[in-house]
Amino acid sequence: MTAEHTRPPSAETVEALIRHRLSTALGGWRGSLETALPTVVFVLAWSLSDHDVRRAAVWAIGVALLLALVRVVQRSSLQHVLGAVFATAVAAFFALRSGQAQDAFLPGILTSAGFLLASLVSILTRWPAVGFLVGAGDPRAAEDPFGWRRDRGMVRVCSRLTWVLVAIYLVRLVLMVPLYLAEQVTLLGVAKVVLGWPLWVAGLAVMGWLLVSGHTPLEPEDEPVLEVD
């Protein structure tokens, strides 16, 4: 496959190519709504049902399944909504198991902690996490998932962008862990929504600034795979 089939016409730099790939790999406003809505419903149902955790969990799962059904009827991609259904089911399990509404947010907190650690390790090992998102937008990803590592400039830029992910997960933990320990369910719900898509938008804006301000040249696609000591 030639370069014309794997790069957008305007991709003359690493930054331009990453912008194109990220727009392909990430979901838009609908995916963010499908992720946030079950949380909003959980908190509202919990507040309006005299703190009935079971009823709140049932409503949240029901909304997530309804969103998935709409996707099926419209024959559109289930990629993002299935993630929301799974996350809602896990959150409901934690809350129902303990009987404490705040435990619905514990899986998300633990996930953020895990992603924070994984992002740091990916930078230190020079397999930056953002590179995998970039690779997911490559039409050749199925046959060459690590092709992005052939370009040293790509690895450097993706490492800088992964530091933005580290900041996102750190902000989530700094704000949500104290709320969880204080059992502030309503504020946890607000924080989860605000620290979801809006925080991602802010993070993507920072990434966009890094990509627009950088001009790292692309290396030839036929170079050998990058070897790191």
Per DSSP, the residues of 95-162 read: HHHHS-GGGGGHHHHHHHHHHHHHHHHHHHTT--HHHHHHHHTSTTTTT-TTGGGG-HHHHHHHHHHH
Length of the chain measured in residues: 229
Q: Sign of the C-alpha dihedral, residues 38, 43, 49, 51?
A: positive
Contacts 24+ apart (CB under 8 A), 174-179: 176/105, 176/108, 176/109, 176/112, 177/109
Tens digits of per-residue pLDDT, 44-83? 999 898 889 999 999 999 999 998 898 888 888 777 678 8
Question: Does residue 227 carry a pLDDT above 60?
Answer: no
Q: Which residue has the higher pLDDT, 213 or 216?
A: 213
- Residue 224's pLDDT band, with cuts at 50, 70 and 90, is very low
Question: Does residue 5 carry a pLDDT above 50?
Answer: no
Mean confidence (pLDDT) of the chain: 80
Residue type, 9: P
Tens digits of per-residue pLDDT, 139-193? 665 676 777 787 788 888 889 999 999 999 999 999 999 999 999 999 999 998 8
Q: Which residue has the higher pLDDT, 24 or 46?
A: 46
Tens digits of per-residue pLDDT, 115-139? 999 999 999 999 999 888 777 655 6
Question: Does residue 33 carry a pLDDT above 80?
Answer: no
Q: What's the predicted TM-score (pTM) here?
A: 0.74
pLDDT of residue 184: 95
Write the DSSP symbol of residue 7.
S
- Residue 7's pLDDT band, with cuts at 50, 70 and 90, is very low
pLDDT of residue 187: 94
pLDDT of residue 119: 95
